[in-house]
A = this chain, B = another copy of it.
Amino acid sequence: MPESLVIDVGVAKTEKYASRESGDTVELVERPSGGFTVVMIDGQGSGRAAKTLSLLLSSKAVALVKEGVRDGVVARATHDYLFAFRHGQVSATLDLLSIDLRTRTTVITRNTESPMLLGLDGGIDVLPALSGPIGRYRWTKPSVRELPMQPGLEVLLFTDGIWHSGRRTDQPPVDLVAFGQRFFGQDTPAQSLADLLLETVIERDGGKPNDDMAVVALSLREGTSARAVRRMGMQVHLP
């Protein structure tokens, strides 16, 4: 069988303890020019208002991505929409993770306050947030990072709930470098990477998540496949 590239995306989400709705929305859609984009929005606050906000913004961002609009413009347009209709009084974070099959690159476009974790060729990097949330200031623009679409690339993106875990009990932020050293570089499925980070963080919050939480994991690996098959799945547990 010929060598092939496996693009593996995993998402894990939960909501703030005792809250019924998560203000974090994650969508994964196909790009018209080839490839896929994950849209992750964390609406300010928690509960129904935050959920409505994040669904509204993800609706805008997903529609633009599906129309073929470039990611940097999707982020600016989603910001402009929020700023125009909420007058700078409401904010949200926005992450776009794209696998662009035309340019053969991984493109990460962010307006957030949380860092991201990147593994490549044995190196582990914690990349700080360079552009703040959307919705607050007139000319907000995203920070964009372009990475190679090559086997061995591992990326973890997450919302504030992950980064702020343990704050209530005055713990330092979650040790991302230690997490990467322990779990990266072993061909771990993306779903497991996302689950592991979510579990680690819920433990820091004593089993009761302090905020809505979402993790997006990307793993590019070598594979062998006779045929191009695409799989997609979702599991939701309703208590």
**Residues in chain A within 8 A of chain B (CB atoms):** 2, 4-15, 22, 25-30, 32, 36, 52, 55-56, 58-59, 62-63, 66-67, 99, 101, 190-191, 194-195, 198, 202, 223, 225-239
Residue of B nearest to A3 (CB): B239
Bound Cα distance from A232 to B167, whole angstroms: 28
- State the copy count for this chain: 2
Given A14-B227, A63-B66, residue A27 in contact with residue B29 (CB < 8 A): yes
Residues on the B chain within 8 Å of A59, using CB: 32, 63, 66-67
Choose from B7, B13, B226 the contact partner of A229 (Cβ within 8 Å).
B13
Residue of B nearest to A190 (CB): B233
Instruction: Indicate if the CB atoms of B52 and A234 lie closer than 8 Å.
Output: no
Choose from B9, B27, B32, B58 the contact partner of A55 (Cβ within 8 Å).
B32
- Say what secondary structure dominates the interface of chain A: strand
- Would you give 7 A-B contacts (Cβ < 8 Å), ordered by A? A4-B239, A9-B235, A30-B55, A191-B233, A227-B237, A231-B233, A231-B236
Bound Cα distance from A30 to B10, whole angstroms: 16
Residue of B nearest to A28 (CB): B234
